[in-house]
């Protein structure tokens, strides 16, 4: 069998030197393996500590990112609410302005209708006055022509009137 140790025999059993050498070799091998395992445990412990440190760092960073994300989400919600409020206010203001402008337009239309009516009345008055003045001018011209005709007849000597008649 492999790993079996055969000791030499002596008068009262196995040779003490062989047994002691074997035990010392086993103890050295055990110490060597124990030291290797201790080193391996130390290395694993160091790796574990390093991984824990990294985990803690990542965890803190993740918490920080989550807090930042929550802050950003909160700011976005506030911005969205503010934008919606601004839109509502703008719509209300636009509606009020439209109503005001519609009223103003209606008022201006009424003024235009009144001005047209007044202009039509003034046009009729001017036409009436012009007709009246035209009649007066015509009468004056006729009167002047009559007067002219009378003056012309007075200026004609009687001799000429007789010559023309006779």
**Does residue 30 fall inside a structural domain?**
yes
Identify the domain containing residue 77 by its residue range. 9-156
**Does residue 19 fall inside a structural domain?**
yes
**Does residue 16 fall inside a structural domain?**
yes
**Does residue 3 fall inside a structural domain?**
no
Q: How far apart are CA 10 and CA 139, in angstroms?
A: 183
* DSSP secondary structure string for all residues of 87-131: HHHHHHHHHHHHHHHHHHHHHHHHHHHHHHHHHHHHHHHHHHHHH
**Does residue 28 fall inside a structural domain?**
yes
Count of structural domains, the chain: 1
From first to last of its 166 residues, the chain has per-residue pLDDT tens of: 446 666 566 667 778 888 889 999 999 999 999 999 999 999 999 999 999 999 999 999 999 999 999 999 999 999 999 999 999 999 999 999 999 999 999 999 999 999 999 999 999 999 999 999 999 999 999 998 888 888 888 776 655 555 554 4
**Does residue 163 fall inside a structural domain?**
no
């Amino acid at each position: 069998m492999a790993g079996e140790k055969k000791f030499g025999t002596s008068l009262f059993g196995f040779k003490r030197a062989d047994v002691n050498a074997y035990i010392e070799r086993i103890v050295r091998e055990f110490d060597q393996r124990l030291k290797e395992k201790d080193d391996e445990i130390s290395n694993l412990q160091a790796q574990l500590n390093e991984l824990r440190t990294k985990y803690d760092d990542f965890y803190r960073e993740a918490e920080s990112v989550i807090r930042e994300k929550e802050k950003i989400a909160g700011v976005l919600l506030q911005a969205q609410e503010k934008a919606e409020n601004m839109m509502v206010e703008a719509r209300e203001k636009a509606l009020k302005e439209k109503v005001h402008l519609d009223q103003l337009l209606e008022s201006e239309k009424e003024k235009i209708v009144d001005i047209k009516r007044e202009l039509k009345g003034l046009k009729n008055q001017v036409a009436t006055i012009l007709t009246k003045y035209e009649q007066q001018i015509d009468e004056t011209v006729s009167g002047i022509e009559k007067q002219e005709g009378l003056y012309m007849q007075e200026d004609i000597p009687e001799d000429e009137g007789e010559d023309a008649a006779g």
